[in-house]
Structure 1
């Protein structure tokens, strides 16, 4: 496709392309001519074309993809977690915690209703003191600062906004947590995929991303979503060694499963890292509607976050903060959270064994979900399972890179009883064309 661009100044060139994109003449994914080609065709300096393309990138209209050139941005919505509306199928792709295992906040809420006025501290002192101790695990930084945001995605969005410019590159795990991918794309940043294996983010993948010039790295140290992988001590140490040569790259550690995790925490934030943040959300153990996350970070990063969390306008409700503090410091609630953690781990492990017995080897990993490799295309299995009454989530939306090897389902099965779990395991095996057990029946629980 030939694109005849007009204009003599950066503004004129950008306006010409903007109008074509807005009219739909240039579809998402369309490759724009190279800077060299446009400059030669128009008889202008290459820097003029660079400035025009930068204006379009800052407006979110195009994406610079390095050697892949500059393409018209795709503004389609990224898939998100949650129930599928208006379905009669049994949904086992939600990514949700079990509502029966979320602590009742009623009594804590009653104790959290003191009025807070303009000018008071943004962070509740009690929550801040508790969070400082909680967040310090394996951090080789004594000068950490605490920030409270409206969930982990809010924290990531604010962290990137105070450190990066539009079109800067961000290293993301591949496959990737849907919310992180959505946040990076809607923020106008370039997502650079870093492969994940059974020990988490790979060293060579991170090294390649840093060589590509990423300005931020988002890492899940344990219970990676969707795969369930957790960093081993050796892998975390190797990643720290790679990051040590890039102390001013912002390293964001998203420890989303925290109190529910069955894996030990191995941090990638080294003592020499100058820009860093660790995020822990309450959504998995206190419920998604809690909408609160705690971030520990270096002082400069914390100051950048504070600018975007002003008293009385964008702070997180002190009622919510005090309620959260009351819950996480209550021994009975912490015991309930521990029981929930055991339940998720046991049910996922049992279902993984059931699939393995049916010819589909699955590693249970850590987290709310199971990552199931398939010997046939996931779409084929999904369609077959829909006919059998199940709604599952394919693995494709979680991948950044095209042409991924393998086919996967991500399943949320921890709330299935034995009968439903056994039926689903049989149906997946039938849809995938693997063998079934000799006889049905019995328990699948651990």
Structure 2
């Protein structure tokens, strides 16, 4: 682009011109805009006017500044999605799905969930669910003033939390490798993802410290069953991270405890007693099913007030029928027993598979969560390609990486808890052969 199509004498006029060119297709995603000095000379405007125009475009999400690479037209990059791959005849071992046979049937709770109609102007949170949710989180955040908000799932909660606290191009610390939905949410919101490495004990101290030095305004962390690695914060690591965050009490800390009632690990938190902006999110999708799209967010009072503006009746509130249905299952002894049994089942199946794989010379360890994070001696893509020729569809660690130009991943994320013994044996044979 030589800049001749851009017109205007003021910052707003120049920005409007670029937006018009983009809307008409004359400028497309990835196209480079002229350097500031060059554009100012072409349009015979002050350099500061050109700088202001590009700033307006960046704030609107039209362009992205890439340092020495210049300013380019932005676009939403495709992100891999969780769930079954569409139109595949292969056996999908990368779904990340819970076992439908392990999800409590909601039929018994439905009759009691209907109740009377809820009208405009009534409280958006069912009082009984609010009380149950507060009890659910109180022991894990005993020193904090807490308010409960109900959202349409964990991803909805994260999106709303970021929107009420951040502006476009603000920096957000994300675990690396990272949960796919978090990558998608941050990119869609126009925020900048700052990678924080994850090891066996969770988010690393050096990584968090570096992200804070880079100016992040929010940190998204998975305290246990980190997706994709399965890592869980150790007590020592959590204490170190809280110590780092103690100097940054107004950075928004979002903890996504997605595995909660299924987890076999103790909950540890980054949220210290003096932290001022925080949210602990617990969704029900892993143990009541993805279609039961509800999450509770325990937040500081000010964050709760900001969220309340986005949860008004008739617009974005969560159905009270759904709230009552979730409450009925969370207070039913039979359903709770089924959830506990499901958590043990996932842990046992993953541990058994990892042990058999280790015995065959491919070391693997079952951490926590629905999946296994398997390290390979060769790049994962080559192994995944060989597995495809044997009828398997696996996810490589490349999909979960945040770096702009990462090294090839040596990990596969496998969902194996629903395989039969025969399928498990065949997959282990094929994995060992493919990794040679």
Same fold, TM-score > 0.5, yes or no: yes
1:234 paired to 2:236: yes
1:341 paired to 2:343: yes
Change (3 A) 1:39 1:170: farther
Distance 1:296 1:68 in 2: 41
How far has the Cα of 1:203 moved from its partner?
1.1
Distance 1:360 1:24 in 2: 51
Q: Which residue of 2 aligns with 1:423?
A: 426
Q: Which residue of 2 aligns with 1:439?
A: none
Asked if the contact 1:64–1:190 (Cα under 8 Å) also holds between the matched residues in 2, the reply is no
Q: Which residue of 1 aligns with 2:416?
A: 413
Change (3 A) 1:70 1:210: farther
Distance 1:119 1:169 in 2: 36
Stretches of structure 2 that go unaligned for 5 or more consecutive residues are none
Change (3 A) 1:31 1:217: farther
SS in 2 for 1:112: helix
Q: Which residue of 1 aligns with 2:57?
A: 56
Q: Which residue of 1 aligns with 2:152?
A: 150
Distance 2:430 2:260 in 1: 33
Q: Which residue of 2 aligns with 1:290?
A: 292
Asked if the contact 2:173–2:218 (Cα under 8 Å) also holds between the matched residues in 1, the reply is yes
Alignment of structure 1 residues 180-329 onto 2, 5 Å = 180-329=182-331
How far has the Cα of 1:6 moved from its partner?
4.8
Distance 1:199 1:7 in 2: 54
Stretches of structure 1 that go unaligned for 5 or more consecutive residues are 434-446
Asked if the contact 1:29–1:71 (Cα under 8 Å) also holds between the matched residues in 2, the reply is yes
How far has the Cα of 1:361 moved from its partner?
1.4
How far has the Cα of 1:7 moved from its partner?
3.7
Count of residues paired in the alignment: 433
Q: CA RMSD in A?
A: 2.0
Cα deviation, 1:180-231, whole Å, max 9, x if unaligned, reads 1111111111111111111111111111111111111101101000010111
Distance 2:199 2:39 in 1: 42
Asked if the contact 1:57–1:188 (Cα under 8 Å) also holds between the matched residues in 2, the reply is no
How far has the Cα of 1:237 moved from its partner?
1.0
Q: Which residue of 2 aligns with 1:10?
A: 11
How far has the Cα of 1:12 moved from its partner?
2.9
Cα deviation, 1:14-42, whole Å, max 9, x if unaligned, reads 23433454455555345555546655665
SS in 1 for 2:194: strand
Distance 2:240 2:40 in 1: 44
SS in 2 for 1:176: coil
TM-score w.r.t. the length of structure 1 is 0.92
Cα deviation, 1:387-443, whole Å, max 9, x if unaligned, reads 11111112111111022364221111100011101101111111111xxxxxxxxxx
TM-score w.r.t. the length of structure 2 is 0.94
Cα deviation, 1:92-116, whole Å, max 9, x if unaligned, reads 1111000000000111111111121
How far has the Cα of 1:312 moved from its partner?
2.7
